Structure 1
Amino acid sequence: MSNTKQILAMLESRADGDDEQFYAIALQVAASEARSGHRSTAEQLRSAVEKARELAGKGASVAVPFASPRGDLADLIELRNPEHNLDNVMLNPMLRTRIDDVVLQQNKRHWLREHGKTPNRRVLFVGPPGSGKTMTAEALAGALRLPLFVIRLDSLITRYMGETAAKLRLAFDETARHRGVYLFDEFDALGAHRGAKNDVAEMRRVLNSFLQFMEEPNGTDSLIVGATNYPDLLDPALLRRFDLVLEFQSPSDDEIKAIIKANLRPMKYPNLAWKKIVGSAQGFSQSEIARAIEEAVKTAILSEHDKVTTDDILHRLDDRKAMRNAFGAVKINS
């Protein structure tokens, strides 16, 4: 890209309010300067971009809304402005380290490209329902100061031949145009094993298209995240396309305690019987525990109490167990 085109692109990005694209072009200029042997100028440009990003992150008291997809994409891609950060999600130390590495590679992506490398940008989350996969995708977007775009599978998958693959093409084209975190939730609906008994020719074509699109170069380095509760249903060919496969698990005892404490705010919780509470919460997902505690806090607020007791929490956890049992009974009788 010539200097004139870069200046025009930077002006257009500023007019659109797309700061990330503005910074990306500035870093492209820095990379060009570095290749020309102007290392000092390149370093000054990179430092200026990092300083601008840092100031933007600290100074924004009101969130700047991202632009929602329009036209054919309006029903296909849902924009969600990130409300969580990585400290809100309870992750085991090894998983958190790997997530932090994704953030580092994405934040330093232009440094990697100067050396002929690309950042990890295709990540698969696997684990039981409620283990924090979707929340982590949102937290990743927040950490990278990027919009979270959720691919709506109900709009993507249709019964008409060729239409699903065409819509998938639109979604991947968008990842190349607008940098963001693109989440394919319930990914097994797209990536099911091509030899499955319920396999149909159309979905085989869709999967083949997905595998092809995943291999295409992407100048924006948009992060593509697949999330599934059923990794055993996925086609093995997908493992070669994803840069990382990260496994989420049900929370440990220490994580259960941390989730409860995080969700008890602003209530006081003196002298809780933690052993009894943690034992009662065993087997629940992160989201189930959070919802149970939220209900206990709501009850305390409406009762004009400023603290939550062990019995309050146990009562709400018992409610979650009753919900599970009722749901199981419905499934058995249906």
Structure 2
Amino acid sequence: MATNDQLKALVKSHADGDDPQFYAVAMQVAAKAARAGQSRFAQELRDLVDDLRERSDVRARVASIVPVVQPKGELGTLLSVSYPDARLGDLVLPDALAARLRHVLLEQRQRDILSKHGLLPARRLLLTGPPGTGKTSTARVVAGELGLPMFAIRLDTILTKFMGETAAKLRLVFDALAVTRGVYLFDEVDALAGERAAQNDVGEIRRVLNSFLQFLEEDTSESILIAATNHPQLLDNALFRRFDTVMDFALPDEKSVEAVVKNRLASFQINSLSWPRVIPAARGLSHAEIATASENAAKRAVLDGRSRIRTDELVEALTERPRSGSHRDKAN
């Protein structure tokens, strides 16, 4: 059942009209109920929240003007669009990082109030950290929480051996930012914004970076621009100054390991898990790897006709996952 703090959070979010926070707390209540063995109630509550979210998303999409639902022509080769339904409750972040993200969302939701005082909401986020630690998931959450489309920039189609072509394609993308409000994700941005002092045969990377910095400087749209990199040390220092917020993601600590496992296995019985064995087995793994291992353990239980997750099978699934640096980097 809900704790006192969760009940207060539900009432406060309802009074504030903060639907996303209301849904997030409700999902936490459902997860807690599932862990307590109240599976039927937990599923009914999750279904109810999902239904309310879907209705809210439909209203938001109808109310918002999105001229480029699916990018056309050359722009279609540069961007891929999706409508994420991810929410804050789906993320496992350290308290400080989660608080910064909530504040970014608050500024976006209250941008009209800020504008009356000559202030602009944070809309450029630089996310850094190892693969699988939640950077791309955070971009999806920003889009989902604000009811905006998410446009992923395909850097492989933007970068060409001809500087003029690359700059022209970047211009198309930044023009789209102004025309269609959305969340624009530049993943692996170090490919665009490498250190200008680095040696290069023809100085091409330096010219690409200069164009990118110029477009960032000139951009006055209401879209949210998110850049992510696994290698912040490769970024030119000038890029950091162009962003309102720099968020550094890290491998999960013990508290986060437990939270990721509980989130992924909320519909299973995990009361008997031995955390002193599970947490060391997850050491060195990213959030994504821990989630994958949890799912693998769950599939073994399902195929064995069980709803209870055993410590041994979860530890084994965690141990099987590759650690950072032991394999080729995977997607964020």
1:78 corresponds to 2:80: yes
1:66-105 residue pairs with structure 2 within 5 A? 67-105=69-107
Alignment-derived partner of residue 186 in structure 1: 188
Alignment-derived partner of residue 316 in structure 1: 317
Contact 2:193-2:235 at 8 Å conserved across structures: yes
Alignment-derived partner of residue 17 in structure 1: none
Q: Deviations over 1:118-168 (max 9, x none)?
A: 111111001111110000110011111111111011111112231111111
More divergent stretch after superposition (243-252 vs 109-118): 109-118
Contact 1:259-1:286 at 8 Å conserved across structures: yes
1:249 corresponds to 2:250: yes
Shift of 1:322: 8.4
Pair 1:126–1:307, CA change in 2 (3 A): same
Letter in 2 for 1:144: L
Alignment-derived partner of residue 115 in structure 1: 117
| Structure 2: segments with no counterpart, 5+ residues | 1-16, 23-50
Letter in 2 for 1:202: E
Shift of 1:58: 4.5
Alignment-derived partner of residue 294 in structure 2: 293
Q: Which has the larger radius of gyration?
A: 1
Alignment-derived partner of residue 234 in structure 2: 233
Shift of 1:313: 0.2
Pair 1:192–1:85, CA change in 2 (3 A): same
More divergent stretch after superposition (60-69 vs 288-297): 60-69
Q: Distance in 2 between matches of 1:247 and 1:264?
A: 27
**Highest RCO, 1 vs 2 (Cα 8 Å, sep ≥ 6):** 2
Q: Distance in 2 between matches of 1:93 and 1:99?
A: 10
How many pairs align?
A: 275
1:302-313 residue pairs with structure 2 within 5 A? 302-313=303-314
Letter in 2 for 1:145: G
| Structure 1: segments with no counterpart, 5+ residues | 1-49, 329-334
Q: Distance in 2 between matches of 1:232 and 1:94?
A: 23
Alignment-derived partner of residue 163 in structure 1: 165
Q: Distance in 1 between matches of 2:302 and 2:257?
A: 23
TM (norm. structure 2) is 0.77
Pair 1:304–1:63, CA change in 2 (3 A): farther
1:273-288 residue pairs with structure 2 within 5 A? 273-288=274-289
2:55 pairs, out of 56, 61, 79, with 61
1:265 corresponds to 2:259: no
Identical positions, percent? 44
1:134 pairs, out of 130, 133, 136, with 136
Shift of 1:286: 0.4
Alignment-derived partner of residue 12 in structure 1: none
Q: Distance in 2 between matches of 1:198 and 1:125?
A: 26
Alignment-derived partner of residue 39 in structure 2: none
Pair 1:200–1:234, CA change in 2 (3 A): farther
Q: Distance in 1 between matches of 2:18 and 2:106?
A: 16
Q: Deviations over 1:228-274 (max 9, x none)?
A: 11111100111211111111111110110010011113211231110
Letter in 2 for 1:84: A
Shift of 1:289: 0.3
Q: Distance in 2 between matches of 1:157 and 1:115?
A: 40
Q: Deviations over 1:83-142 (max 9, x none)?
A: 321111111111111111111111111221222111111110011111100001100111
Q: Distance in 2 between matches of 1:155 and 1:116?
A: 38
Q: Distance in 2 between matches of 1:323 and 1:176?
A: 38
Pair 1:157–1:278, CA change in 2 (3 A): same
Q: Distance in 1 between matches of 2:201 and 2:134?
A: 29
Shift of 1:51: 10
Q: Distance in 1 between matches of 2:147 and 2:194?
A: 32
Letter in 1 for 2:195: H
1:154 corresponds to 2:148: no
Moved over 3 A (4+): 50-54, 57-66, 321-325
Q: Distance in 2 between matches of 1:301 and 1:199?
A: 56
Q: Distance in 2 between matches of 1:199 and 1:276?
A: 52
Q: Distance in 2 between matches of 1:241 and 1:323?
A: 29
Contact 1:162-1:202 at 8 Å conserved across structures: no
Contact 2:163-2:207 at 8 Å conserved across structures: no
